[in-house]
Structure formats: structure tokens, C-alpha cells
Amino acid sequence: MIGIYSVLFLAILIGIVYLVSTLINKVVNKKGKYSYSKRVIKIFCVYLAIMLICLALDLINPGKGLSDWKTVSTKNLDKENSVVYNAASKGEIDKIDPAFLVEKWKFTYHERQLPISSEDEALSNSNIFVERKNTNDGEIDALYYHTRLSMNQLDLTKYFKPLQLELTDGQLRIMKPQQRELKFSELANVFSVNQFTGVNSFSHHSEFHDGVSILYLRIPKDLQLTDESGQPVQPKVGLNIEYVN
């Protein structure tokens, strides 16, 4: 659609140039003025040729870098976040789409207390929900959910790296995920095209949607979670733990 409007504008501009040059030739008949009008016409012709070349290149190569990317709606992402968070907070993880389960662990543990710790920034955007089982089966099930990521409505989920969890030396350690560096470049139409489309080539705005991150723990009935000092972990304190019914 932009290409059609650009061609239309160029056709109008060519018509205007032609009419102006005709009037110059008819109205001005003094010596030397005709050659001046010819120079004006040549300058306009060169300018129009440049714009036509730029327009042709833009239409031939409109930027294929985004063709392999999926697009997502921010409204849908917000809905996903709400559904996943509400289900986890109620202990209804069976209602969560399995596509959002990015990692799971199972640990054998028979002690009565379990210290739990987190590396700096490992849970900066995460919530921990803990469900007590009906029995003391000596098993800890950990499930990590994360909804989709996006930037400017481009789906970045495939680049997401989950946090890591390990049980060593009688302590459950939550470690921050491996970091990835993504670099993006943006191609914009040149001035000769944007002067007709009205788009500002120098304006830039990015919208990042980081999704919802949830660590869901199923622990034996009488297992007590503690901090590194041995004190019981309180709900919504420190590690932002919540117990579900």
C-alpha cells in the first residue's frame, strides 16, 4: 500500500514539474531565461530519478529479516500471564498449558528441614509457589513455568534460558539462568521514500514483554523449608514464597 501511494505522489510531482517548466517557457522569453528553465528541469529530473531508484529498491527488497519471526499480540500475552499466575497461586497447575513448562526436576530428600537459597537476581522476576503433598514420600517435584517473551510484538521465547535448580549438600539452590546477548538492527526507508509516507526515520520506540516466571514446588507433607540460617521461610518474605492449599 505504501508503494502505491509513493508512486502516486511521484506521478503528481512529475506532473507539477512539467506544468511549471511549461509555464516558465511560455511566460519568460528574455535572453538566457530559457536555458535557466532547462537547468531547473534537469535538476528536477535527476532528483526524481534518485527517488524512483530508491523507491524501486525499497519495493524489491522490503526487508526480509523479520520473515522468520513469529509475531504475538500484547493483549494475548497479558492474558497468558494472568491465566498462568492465577492457576499456580491456586495450586491448579493442571490447568496451565504444558507449552509453558520449560524445565522440571525431581529430587529425593528424606530430612525434616530443607534450607533453600537463591543467587543474586536469580528470582528477580520469579514467583515461588509451594504445595504440600498429603504424604511424606521423600520426593520433591519442581516445575518451572514461563510465559512468552516479546519485543515490539516479535516472539523471543526461543531465546529464553530458564533458571537452574540443584540439591547439593542438603541445600536447595536456585541459580540464575545463563545470560544471552541479543543484538537487533533496524532498517528504515530513506528520506526520498519517507517524505511521501510521512514516517519519521529517526523515531524509535521499543516495547519489551518479559512474561511471568513461576517456580512451583511440591514437597513432602511435613518438610520444613528454611533459609540458610535455619529459620523457617515465611510466605512473601525473602524469596517471595507462597504456600498454596
pLDDT value, residue 217: 96
- Residue 127: how many CA atoms within 13 Å on its side-chain side? 20
Contact 221, 136 (CB under 8 A): yes
Find cell 494472568 and name the residue.
82
The 10 Å Cβ neighbour count of residue 241 is: 19
Contact (Cβ atoms closer than 8 angstroms) between residue 78 and residue 145 = no
Interval 36-93: pLDDT, tens? 566 666 666 767 677 666 666 666 655 555 556 788 888 889 999 999 999 999 999 9
**How many angstroms separate the CA atoms of 42 and 48, rounded?**
10
Q: Is 209 helix (H, G, I), strand (E, B) or coil?
A: strand
pLDDT of 100 reads 94
With a threshold of 0.95, does the pTM exceed it? no
More confident residue, 73 or 245: 73
| Amino acid of residue 150 | S
Nearest CA-CA partner of 97 in 240, 235, 211, 221 = 211
The tens digit of pLDDT for each residue in 149-164 reads 888 888 888 877 888 8
Q: CA 220, CA 140: separation in Å to the nearest integer?
A: 7
- Judge whether 164 and 175 are in contact, CB under 8 Å: yes
- Residues in CB range of 182: below 8 A, 6 or more apart: 156, 159
Q: How many CB atoms lie within 10 A of CB 191?
A: 10
pLDDT higher than threshold 60 for residue 189: no
